[in-house]
Amino acid sequence: MAEIKVTLPDDSIRSLPEGSTGIDLAADVGRSLAKAAVALNVNGETKDLSEPLSEGDSVSIITQDTEDGLHVLRHSTAHVLAQAVLSIWEGATYAIGPPIKDGFYYDFELPDGVTFTEDDLINIEKRMNEIIKQDQHFERYEISSEEALELFEDHRFKKEIIERVSTGEIDSEISNEVAAEGTISYYKNGQDFVDLCTGPHVPSTGKLGHFALQKVAGAYWRGDEKQPMLQRIYGTAWSNEKELKQYLHRLEEAERRDHRRLGRQMDLFHFQDEAVGAAFWHTNGWTLFRTLIEYMRGRQNDTGYQEVNTPELMSRELWEASGHWDTFGENMFTSQTEDERIFAIKPMNCPGHVQIFKNELRSYRDLPFRLAEFGKVHRYEPSGALHGLMRVRAFTQDDAHIFCTEDQITAESGAVCQLLLNIYSDMGFDDIVIKFADRPERRVGEDAVWDRAEDALKKSMALLGLDYLHNPGEGAFYGPKIEFVLRDAIGREWQCGTLQVDLNLPGRLGATYIGEDGKRHTPVLLHRAIFGSLERFIGILLEHYAGNLPLWLSPLQIVVATITSDADDYASEVVNRLREVGLRADLDLRNEKINFKVREHSLSKIPAIIAVGKREVDEQTVSVRRLGQKGQRVMSLDDATKVFIAEHESRAIVSDGATG
């Protein structure tokens, strides 16, 4: 029998009988690989495992525990979901069902306006498991558009996809339905279930099984509100039961840590329809907000920044000159005055800072020139995109801009990187991913200038010994940037800090300085944010710590609660003493049992509760209970005060982000 030779990822050559598939190759390599295999990569393209191999192919086996393998698993599970729904609901119509991050979804239209319930999800899961146990094979077919229209004659959403494909009207939502060279591909499994798809899929449904259906949501067909509202079932799928359980546990943890729930529980903020996308800060929340600002103000003052404040309302002419009107105008809130001038509420602070820089004649001796502002900005976000403090329309940036020469980029960038890392450490974030984003295809400025800017940023990280990931082509159109991504207590990533080199804005707005040669030069502008949005960073902090903020950050640090009314006067003395030394303390003299008070204040996430009763009065002591810790510690008021002061001033992180 004739043989073919294929090349494996380690450059070894494997000989196989002519007509062999990926299934044969996996079995030839080893039993464990054959068991884990779900798809192929052939010459850089992802294919079904049943794909016949050819002489000279470069082949790698995609296993279920890889990113590509999970994508295939989830895509295949989405098909099984559609198959299960159609087998239960006669007259149901299926639309699209792609894999997504951590899972998949499928959109359906049920007859007579019927909607899915939680009980329905349980029944659908049961039917899916039956299909999986049957180990149905996924078979791929390619046909013409005409044949496809006939095959899916009774499926209006599929027919529309085929028609759009055949006319070349293809968008990202349906791109996975398109086959090569003008044909339409579909898959069949079981006796009669077919679905449009380019694949690949697992060889058979028996490869699946570690999944869970999660929720139902509404979704417009093709995202168009004029189209029918469909019902979307979301699910998740993993390569094994352990990973599935870990993921579901992370979801439970995320729900428990949801900053919106904690905001109510801790009486921090609320939202309402009269100010969509803007927070109403309560006393506790505003105290936390101001604590972060005062902390950042101190760090900036120590590192040479001058704090400024720029107008929130500025004319259209400025935004046109900066370039924001053309690139960001649809996201800006505007107002027109009686003389027909148009003003915009600022969506960012940088043009205002350039105005301060150019208000005086600057010399090279003035550089680097560092400005910082806690600037309130407004950006229009669609209502469907808003999410508590994480995605708002009105927020405050800890914004800063450094005007410098090209020769100063490396030193200034290094100082910014070090400042960011120190601040994140103070906040309890030590697991930080740094990404370097270089020039995009569409950009301003000469390549030689980009070369120098990118090289300066890389040198700044090298001097600090920082490892970073390369994010090719993801820089801003005006310059390269560094992004700082924080990992929280349950492993989620949050992109917060950025450092951007701007080769464009100073020149557009006419900012110059006098160089050593006596001539005017355009400065380089470094954009720097550390928290980014204070609102969003507070949301991240709340979820990272599950509300158990370190004492120095907590809005209310200590509550002194009486056990009996005999201790009221002493409790007042304790609170006054704590307040005198700058601690945020409150008094609870209510006629309630101490266990009730402790439970209530613990739910409000107060870091320390001091209980005082007759014994404490007689001995001039206090009983200290710490949030998340068992038992209590009896100590003198002086000793307790010293402990709290030391913790407050050292910014110690006593609370464990993993507890709550």
CB 335 within 8 A of CB 343: yes
146 phi/psi in degrees, rounded to 5:
-60, -45
Residue 583's Cβ-count burial label (10 Å; 0-12, 13-18, 19+) is buried
| 397 part of the active site | yes
Amino acid identity for residue 196 in this structure: L
* Residue in 79, 362, 401, 443 annotated catalytic: 401
Please say if 401 is a catalytic residue: yes
Cβ–Cβ < 8 Å for 177, 71:
no
The two tokens of residue 479 are 């310059």
Q: Enumerate the H helices of 89-117 as residue ranges.
A: none
Closest by Cα among 211, 213, 216, 229 to 117: 216
DSSP letter, residue 179: -
| Torsion sign over Cα 541, 546, 552, 557 | positive
Helices 118-133 and 67-88, interaxial angle, to 10°? 110
* Amino acid code (one letter) for 505: L
In the chain, the N- to C-terminal Cα span, in Å, equals 66
Is 350 a catalytic site residue? Answer: yes
Task: Kindly state the tokens that stand for 77.
Answer: 């599970």
Virtual torsion, Cα 535, 537, 538, 539, nearest 10 deg: 90
Q: Residue 640: which of 620, 624, 619 has the closest Cα?
A: 624
Residue-wise DSSP of 32-68: HHHHHEEEEEETTEEEETTPBP-TT-BEEEEETTSHH
Indicate if the alpha-carbon torsion angle 190, 28, 237, 70 is positive or negative. negative
Q: Give the relative orientation of helices 637-650 and 568-580 as an angle to the nearest 10 degrees.
A: 30
Is 75 annotated as catalytic? Answer: no
Choose, from 353, 481, 625, 648, the residue flagged as catalytic.
481
- Catalytic residue selected from 397, 408, 500, 557: 397
Q: Are strands 184-189 and 193-196 parallel, antiparallel or unpaired?
A: antiparallel
Query: Omega of the bond prior to 200 within 30 degrees of 0, cis?
Result: yes
Active-site annotation holds for 215: no
Question: Given 48, 120, 398, 399, which residue is catalytic?
Answer: 399
Quote the tokens at residue 640: 């307790």
* 411: enclosing H helix or E strand: helix 409-426
From CA 523, how far away is CA 364, in angstroms rounded? 9
Q: Which two three-digit tokens encode residue 386?
A: 């808003």
Q: DSSP strand E in 564-653: where?
A: 585-588, 608-612, 621-626, 633-636
Cβ distance 202 to 72 under 8 Å?
A: yes
Coil/strand/helix, residue 607: coil
- Could you give the dihedral angle defined by the CA atoms of residues 410, 415, 421 and 425, in that order, rounded to the nearest 10 degrees? 170
The alpha carbon of 144 is separated from its chain's Cα centroid by a whole number of angstroms, namely 41
Catalytic residue of the set 210, 257, 350, 417: 350
Per-residue CA distances from 271 to 55, 152, 263, 320, 388 (Å):
64, 47, 10, 33, 8
CB 186 within 8 A of CB 161: no
Question: 127, 297, 379, 579: which one is catalytic?
Answer: 379
Q: Are 560 and 586 in contact (CB under 8 A)?
A: yes
Among candidate residues 527, 528, 536, 625, the one labeled active-site is 527
Active site amino acids: 350, 379, 397, 399, 401, 481, 527
